[in-house]
């Protein structure tokens, strides 16, 4: 991001001034983009928080104002933390009761699909309220979400996943990464479908998914199997499957 | 407050080990009133319209996001576990604040919005590999009458 600022200004021959936000202050300090606003927000939330238009506008404006005030390379600090729920803890409206994962492929498929069907009404509500879903980077359509679960169950139990009807964007084993991320998107969108006074942080959602759903347990099983693979392509995917801090269940 | 010192140690170590190449700064572009600026968004969130090709990790290509894009059509194929995607999943403005920019145009805070916005893949192992496409974007934006780019990471 910092490098792009320099290259865009150079390519424009001085006609396009750049400003922006930085989530890693050390990176901005090291590469010194012409104008940048350091924001103390979680990675993935450069404007602070979802569904907070006033806060987002203030962050954007604070960065854009550097275009009319900065007379030299400027790294400014945004003075506010991202809004949170405060003392009101978030809890998913859907109370899942994840079973012990089955050893047999078809039984694990059935368990995962049952969990997905518990969330499905809330995902439908999410699509209705937001008008969209971000599920789909694997190639699966929304009505093929259960096929994603089948792929993960197959791999987790050592079965050979068939191609099935999904028009996958990637071959195995990279397909596993995109399928798991699409399923996580389905779970996140379902869990946040119900608007309320309390809303989840990224840590809330990770804690819920990796400690209170069957999917979280299955993703750990998959990572365990990947780690033992003789195929370097499979083992190389391990670091991209589960966020730091969630590789083990909460005790 | 989120700084690298607040992050999981493995993530902080990984982020702080990334190379930070020194790039010769250009001649300073003089400040001018915000109300005179036409603004584009440049993101490294790996976003693209749903019908466009997903990004591969480390790709130095870019994708076009039309200024009149329908938010229901945007996807993100930057899937590093180092960042949270739930904000994007709930509200795309958390990453790509085009609706906020439209509001600033409507109330006259800025002069206008670019016809096109640009998306790159983040988590670049060597940011200098973006030199050619970055300069191309600068030229394209200038020729399109854009005077400012708002760069947002993920």
Q: Which residue's structure tokens are 């059935």?
A: A110
Residue (of A126, A27, A90, A182) closest to B91 by Cα position = A126
> Residue B26 is nearest to which of A9, A169, A181, comparing CB atoms?
A9
- The Cα B83–Cα A202 span in angstroms is 9
CB contact under 8 A, A6 and B93: no
Using a CB-CB distance cutoff of 8 angstroms, which residues of chain A are in contact with residue B110?
A: 64
Closest residue of chain B to A63, computed from CA coordinates? B150
Domain boundaries, chain A: 2-77, 105-240
- The Cα A131–Cα A143 span in angstroms is 16
Using a CB-CB distance cutoff of 8 angstroms, which residues of chain A are in contact with residue B74?
A: 132, 134
pLDDT for position B4: 74
* A4-49 pLDDT, tens digit each: 999 999 999 999 999 999 999 988 898 899 999 999 998 999 999 9
Q: Read off the pLDDT band of A90 (50, 70, 90).
A: confident
| Residue B53 dihedral angles phi and psi, to the nearest 5° | -70, 135
Upper half-sphere CA count for residue A143 (Cβ side, 13 Å): 1
CB contact under 8 A, B95 and A44: yes
B152 CA to chain A: closest CA distance, Å? 6
CB contact under 8 A, B81 and A33: no
| Residue B72 dihedral angles phi and psi, to the nearest 5° | -70, -15
Residue (of A39, A45, A26, A36) closest to A6 by Cα position = A36
pLDDT for position A198: 63
Q: Token pair for residue B124? A: 């670049």
What is the helix, strand, coil percentage profile of chain B, to 5? 35, 20, 50
- The Cα B56–Cα B62 span in angstroms is 11
Q: Determine the average pLDDT of the residues in B109-131.
A: 92
- The Cα A206–Cα A188 span in angstroms is 9
pLDDT for position A85: 67
pLDDT for position B1: 55
* B63-81 pLDDT, tens digit each: 999 999 988 888 888 877 7
CB contact under 8 A, B34 and A10: no
CB contact under 8 A, B87 and A24: no
Domain boundaries, chain B: 33-152
Residue (of A30, A185, A6, A58) closest to B42 by Cα position = A6
Give the Cβ contact number of residue B51 at 10 Å. Answer: 7
| Residue A107 dihedral angles phi and psi, to the nearest 5° | -65, -40
* A107-132 pLDDT, tens digit each: 999 999 999 999 999 999 999 988 89
Using a CB-CB distance cutoff of 8 angstroms, which residues of chain A are in contact with residue B37?
A: 17, 64, 67
CB contact under 8 A, B1 and A81: yes
Which residue, among B5, B81, B105, B147, would best test binding to A if mutated, counting the most A CBs under 10 Å from its CB? B81
Upper half-sphere CA count for residue B145 (Cβ side, 13 Å): 7
pTM of the model: 0.85
> Residue B130 is nearest to which of A7, A44, A239, comparing CB atoms?
A7
Q: Determine the average pLDDT of the residues in A188-193.
A: 92
């Amino acid at each position: 991001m910092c490098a792009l600022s320099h290259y865009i200004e150079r390519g424009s021959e001085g006609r396009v001034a750049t400003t922006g936000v930085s989530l890693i202050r050390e990176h901005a300090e090291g590469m010194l983009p012409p104008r940048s606003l350091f924001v103390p927000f979680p990675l993935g939330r450069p404007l602070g928080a979802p569904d907070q238009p006033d806060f987002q506008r203030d962050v954007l404006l604070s960065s854009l104002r550097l275009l009319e005030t900065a007379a030299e390379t400027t790294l400014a600090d945004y003075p506010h933390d991202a809004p949170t729920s405060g003392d009101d803890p978030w809890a998913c409206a859907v109370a899942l009761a994840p079973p012990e994962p089955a050893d047999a492929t078809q039984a694990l498929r059935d368990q995962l699909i049952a969990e997905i069907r518990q969330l499905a009404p809330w995902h439908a509500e999410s699509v209705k309220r937001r008008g969209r879903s971000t599920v789909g980077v694997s190639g699966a359509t929304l009505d093929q979400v259960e096929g994603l679960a089948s792929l993960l169950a197959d791999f987790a139990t050592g079965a050979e996943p068939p191609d099935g009807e999904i028009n996958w964007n990637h071959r195995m084993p990279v397909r596993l990464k995109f399928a798991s991320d699409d399923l996580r998107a389905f779970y996140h969108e379902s869990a946040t479908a119900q608007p309320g006074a309390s809303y989840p942080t990224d840590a809330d959602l990770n804690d819920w998914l990796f400690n209170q759903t069957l999917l979280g347990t299955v993703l750990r099983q998959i990572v365990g199997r990947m780690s033992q693979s003789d195929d370097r392509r499979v083992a190389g995917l391990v670091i991209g499957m589960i966020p730091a801090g969630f590789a083990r269940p909460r005790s | 407050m989120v700084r690298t010192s607040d992050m999981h140690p493995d993530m902080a170590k990984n982020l702080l080990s990334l190379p930070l190449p020194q790039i010769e700064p250009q001649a300073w572009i003089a400040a001018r009133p915000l109300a005179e600026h036409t603004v584009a968004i440049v993101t490294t969130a790996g976003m693209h319209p749903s019908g466009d090709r997903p990004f591969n990790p480390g790709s130095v290509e870019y994708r076009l996001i039309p200024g009149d894009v329908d938010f229901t059509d945007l996807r993100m194929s930057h899937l590093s576990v180092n960042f949270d995607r739930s904000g994007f999943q709930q509200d795309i403005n958390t990453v790509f604040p085009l609706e906020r920019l439209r509001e600033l145009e409507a109330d006259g805070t800025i002069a206008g919005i670019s016809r096109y916005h640009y998306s790159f893949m983040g988590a670049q192992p060597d940011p200098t590999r973006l030199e050619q496409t970055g300069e191309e974007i600068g030229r394209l934006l200038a020729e399109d009458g854009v005077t400012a780019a708002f760069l947002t990471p993920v």
